Amino acid sequence: MAFVVIMPKQGQSVESCIITEWNKKKGDLVKKGEILFAYETDKASFEEEAAVEGMLLELFYETGDEVPVLTNVCVIGAPGEPVDAFRPGGARAETIETVEIKEIKETIGAIGTSPVSQSAGTGAISPRAKNLAEKEGVQFDSIAGSGPGGRIIEQDVKAVIDSHPKTTPLARKIAGEEQLLPSSTGSGLGGSVKAKDLTAPNPIYANDFEIKKLSNMRKLIAKTMHQSLQNSAQLTHHLGADARRMLELRRKVKKANDNGYPVNITLNDMVCFAVVKALRKFPQANAHFLGDSVKYFNKIHLGIAVDTDRGLMVPAIRNADDLSIQGLSNQMREIAVSCRKGAINPELLSSEAASFTVSNLGNYGVEMFTPVINLPQVGILGVNTIVPRPKDLGDGAYGFVPFIGLSLTYDHQALDGGEATRFLKQIATEIENLEFEL
């Protein structure tokens, strides 16, 4: 009389087990107590012994298959006895389906929980295999699984461990905890991998990225910049201003500095000074666009973009129109220093604090860019590097003249192209005719 072997239920929560090894094959004679097959749950591995003597008539599953508990696995009996009655009818197809669903879940779970578990290919790995891999510090993303659908099972991980050079217990511990990999050749006994032979995973082929949480400051910048582009109609005009006058003034300042003059007026200070002068003549650019109304400022509060270690900061210089160029220069320097130190008054950083903003990338050699408006301001001036450009010097003579690039981004909701251009041209004129006493 044929005897059917079922997959035991190992514990209340276990729904299926994976057959990890068949010790007998179809047609083998088995004795009572001999091991038929080994199987594993997510927590432990077991061996199933033959309860009766006889011939192994049929195996319904293969190594690597996941078998629901209490399902028929194989049949022992006398040669020739029919076994079809025991075949899990249609259950096998269902099983495979279950496996696939579970695999997907596990892969999703793994990506979120552990940096080791990036699965490539089919990606699925049995929980026991995963435990072992993590304990031994084995990166399993490149292992070709031998389970159903390429699922990685425990013996696949074991094979990888065996093919590696021996790793000392300390190296294993450190590899597991610090996500390091053993190098292919060790410096220890018989070439074993010691703690000092561990290396970080290959930056090109393995962990080629790192996910970091945004700092609050970054979040804030991201939000404002995105909102600016979403909630305005901004575009940029580019124009060059003859920089000869400015460069000459700069030379004078340098010379004066050498003779003890206390204020080092930079090109940027001069541009900002010119912008303030232009804004006086174009109050429509010194404004906030509020949707159904426009707020025109009587005073000029100049926002200055400052590059710091923590990110971009745009503090405002209040009442910039009251300042001489020396005063403006001093304030710009002080405010930049307090930004970099993190000591800036937060109220000055608010985008409402400034009525117009200047962002200077000329130092870095940028020739043209499209600065993003700090809403609700209606414009921002990008200052570019100085480049020599051919210019008609009169009488058909051309010469190379240094030009400073100016990029004005404005909100077309508040300003039209004509006004914006005239304003930009005014800035250029102010730059070209800059006048101040040292």
One-letter amino acid at 32 equals K
**Is residue 416 annotated as part of the catalytic site, yes or no?**
yes
One-letter amino acid at 91 equals A
Tell me how far, at minimum, the Cβ of 188 lies from another protein, in Å: 7
Distance, CA of 30 to CA of 38 (rounded, Å): 15
Residue among 175 and 320 whose Cβ is closer to another protein? 175
Q: Go through 38-53 and write b for each residue having 16 or more CB atoms within 10 A of its CB, e for each that does not.
A: bbbbbeeeeebebeee
Tell me how far, at minimum, the Cβ of 137 lies from another protein, in Å: 13
Choose the catalytic residue: 28, 322, 392, 416: 416
Residue among 9 and 135 whose Cβ is closer to another protein? 135
**Beta partners for residue 6, in sequence order:** 72
Tell me how far, at minimum, the Cβ of 174 lies from another protein, in Å: 6
Residue among 184 and 216 whose Cβ is closer to another protein? 184
Tell me how far, at minimum, the Cβ of 194 lies from another protein, in Å: 6
Mention every residue, 6+ apart, whose C-beta is less than 8 A from residue 200: 179, 180, 181, 207
**Beta partners for residue 236, in sequence order:** 409
**Is residue 28 annotated as part of the catalytic site, yes or no?**
no
- Whether 307 and 361 have beta carbons less than 8 Å apart is answered as no
Distance, CA of 310 to CA of 304 (rounded, Å): 16
Residue among 104 and 170 whose Cβ is closer to another protein? 170
Tell me how far, at minimum, the Cβ of 175 lies from another protein, in Å: 11
Strands (E), 257-392: 287-289, 294-296, 302-304, 306-308, 311-313, 316-317, 356-360, 379-392
- Whether 423 and 408 have beta carbons less than 8 Å apart is answered as yes
Tell me how far, at minimum, the Cβ of 212 lies from another protein, in Å: 25
Tell me how far, at minimum, the Cβ of 181 lies from another protein, in Å: 16
Residue among 131 and 192 whose Cβ is closer to another protein? 192
Distance, CA of 346 to CA of 340 (rounded, Å): 13
Residue among 177 and 210 whose Cβ is closer to another protein? 177
Tell me how far, at minimum, the Cβ of 169 lies from another protein, in Å: 5
> CB count, 10 Å around CB of 93?
10
Choose the catalytic residue: 226, 322, 392, 412: 412
221 half-sphere exposure, CB direction, 13 A CA radius: 15
Give one word for 395, left, alpha or beta, with left for phi > 0 and alpha for psi -120 to 50: left
Q: What sign has the CA pseudo-torsion 69, 73, 76, 82?
A: positive
Residue among 23 and 168 whose Cβ is closer to another protein? 168
Residue among 175 and 325 whose Cβ is closer to another protein? 175
Q: What are the residues binding another protein (CB under 8 A)?
A: 168-171, 173-174, 185, 187-189, 191-192, 194-195
Annotate 123-176 with three-state secondary structure: CCECHHHHHHHHHHCCCCCCCCCCCHHHCECHHHHHHHHHHCCCECHHHHHHHH
Mention every residue, 6+ apart, whose C-beta is less than 8 A from residue 157: 129, 132, 133, 136, 138, 140, 143
* Tokens encoding 106: 């596990």
Tell me the catalytic residues: 412, 416
